Chain A
Amino acid sequence: MSELPLFHAQGLTKRFGGFVALDSVDFEVGAGERVGLIGPNGSGKSTLVGCASGSLRNDGGAVWFKDRRIDRLLPHQRVRAGLVRSFQLPRPFRGLTVAENLRVPLVFAGRQGRAQDAIDDALEFVGLAARREAMPQDLTQVDLRKLDLARATVAKPQLLFVDEAMAGLSHSEVDEIIALMMRMNERGVAIVMIEHIMRAVTAFSQRLVVLVAGRKIADGDPEQVLANVEVQRAYLGE
């Protein structure tokens, strides 16, 4: 890439007490790119998403998004700038219907008019149109994942971090979510997929980044990364 990347973290470091969860990690994402982020449990993947999205404060390093240093911005400011995340466990607003859940980013992410159309489009897009009046408690696991993705879509992100959206889903449901994320990407959204299901990661990723114990140990072409000895050891040793 000759231009500046869309997203760029340099020397990103995060400590919890004395424990170093991220140890000087460099991580970048180009506009419209599909990146897979893998690593054993506890390797710091969600921590990286937290530092990028602002729910966690990094202790060292810097984060840039669209030429702007963002690591002291509040989470909602980063959302408005176009950087959106989803959570490892679905986090719907349980007191709101499916459609009302999508109204929250419509009103607050401030990236488009308040048109009702945006909600309908997003529901149609993820396949939840028939469930628009349902309460989250009545949704299946896969529908909760779709709701999270629809909510992210309404915020009109340029970069989306999707933290393990496929855990606990069936084979065909995983395919559905992959297809959905591919379609989001086709609309121009750069996506970082964090996933343990290797089938999904390899099908989706144009580039693969591997974290182990808070350090980045590989970054590049998915096939080459997966052939990497260190990566194999990290996974076999788990």
Chain B
Amino acid sequence: MSAFFRFLGLAIIAACALFAAMRAVGNDYVFYAGYTVLEYVVLACAWNILGGYVGYVNFGVAAFLALGAYTGVALGRIAPVPLPVMMLAGGVVAGLVGLGTGYLTLRLRGIFFAIATLALAVVLQTLITNWDFVGGSAGVYAIRPKHVPIFGSYIQYMVFLMLTLAVVVVAVSRAIETSGLGLGFVAIRDDEVAAEATGVPTLRLKLIATALSGAFMGMAGAPLPYYLTFLEPSSAFNLTYAVNSIAMPLIGGTTMWFGPVLGALLLGTAQQVITVTISSEVNLLIVGLLLIGFVVLAPQGLIGLLGLTGKRRSA
């Protein structure tokens, strides 16, 4: 326990240092770019809870992100709700959908589960596109509050919230790794039938993973309308979210929290630079090539190359 709080303390200090450094630059662009990178830190870690630890590949990242975003939009249409509350609500909705999806699909293994999550994204996108209350296919404007106390600008406030969420996700990931829960996850990933035969309640553990993973993605999605200021289904359900959220852990390494964090920081930052210097179209190409390279040449990712995987190695 004390090791956990020491870790949490370090993570908070690192987050504060990062925020201070971004403020020191004194340019809002840094915050716009930083927000996206941090969003990917959260998405990559969240994906990794199910995909990396338990070994179930979720292609429907955008669906959970969009659930969070549209939960926020729907709430905002009913009452002026503060953003942190929207994030919590988005987390609850996406977590519940994760739980339901898990319950319906987790008897499917391997590729069939992955296809089912892709189907979930398609179904949800169709539903949202036809739901006029949240803008439907025409999209919806999200008006940022003019006045933001303490932070001064709304983008800084959003970065602060995303940074907080990133710290929470990383801390939860690490807590999983060091707990019996994480051991059970690894057992399922390595051999689900043997795990059952060793006493692991596989269905319950997989549901915990889908719910947690979905909830964090939903929380990350809630500020999206305010970040984009205009949200439409095609941007909320953009396949890029899934591609990046899968590529970042795989490139960074899936066996511990540091893998997705490293993957998201490096790849996310590189993408921001490339978008400015070359073009955003090149990004997916680069991600694709890196992904192939790592899967073939370094299946343990960067943390494997750095020798950081610890005792629990991937299968």
A residues near B (Cβ < 8 Å) are 53-55, 74-76, 79-80, 84-85, 87, 91-97, 100, 103-105, 107-110, 133, 135, 151, 155
Contacts and interface: CB of A to CB of B under 8 A. Distances in A.
B179 to A, nearest CB: 9
Nearest to A79: B199
B53 to A, nearest CB: 10
Contact of B312 (A53, A84, A100): A100
B203 interface: yes
A55 B196 CA distance: 8
A85 B198 CA distance: 9
A151 B198 contact: yes
B74 to A, nearest CB: 38
B240 to A, nearest CB: 30
A7 B183 CA distance: 31
B85 to A, nearest CB: 37
B17 interface: no
A93 B184 CA distance: 10
Contacts of B202: 76
Given A55-B193, A100-B311, A100-B312, A95 B186 contact: yes
Interface in B192-236: 193-203
A84 B196 CA distance: 10
A109 B196 contact: no
A155 B255 CA distance: 26
Interface in B54-69: none
Nearest to B181: A107
27 contacts: A53-B197, A54-B196, A75-B196, A76-B196, A76-B200, A76-B202, A79-B199, A87-B194, A93-B191, A95-B186, A95-B255, A96-B183, A96-B312, A97-B312, A100-B311, A104-B183, A104-B187, A105-B198, A107-B183, A107-B184, A108-B180, A108-B199, A109-B198, A109-B199, A110-B199, A155-B198, A155-B199
Contacts of A76: 196, 198-202
A135 B313 CA distance: 9
Contact size range, B: 20 to 34
B278 interface: no
A96 B189 CA distance: 11
Nearest to A148: B194
B184 A104 contact: yes
Contact of B197 (A75, A94, A103, A110): A75
The 3 A-B pairs at the shortest CB distance, nearest first, are namely A109-B199, A75-B196, A108-B199
Interface of B: 180, 183-184, 186-187, 189-191, 193-203, 255, 311-315
A80 B180 CA distance: 16
B199 A96 contact: no
B13 to A, nearest CB: 31
A137 B215 CA distance: 36
Contacts of A85: 197
B190 A105 contact: no
Nearest to B196: A75
B187 A96 contact: yes
A148 B183 CA distance: 17
Nearest to A93: B190
A107 B297 CA distance: 35
Nearest to A86: B197
B183 A103 contact: yes
Contacts of A109: 198-199
**Residue from the set A96, A108, A110 with the largest chain B CB neighbour count within 10 Å:** A108
B186 A93 contact: yes
A95 B194 contact: no
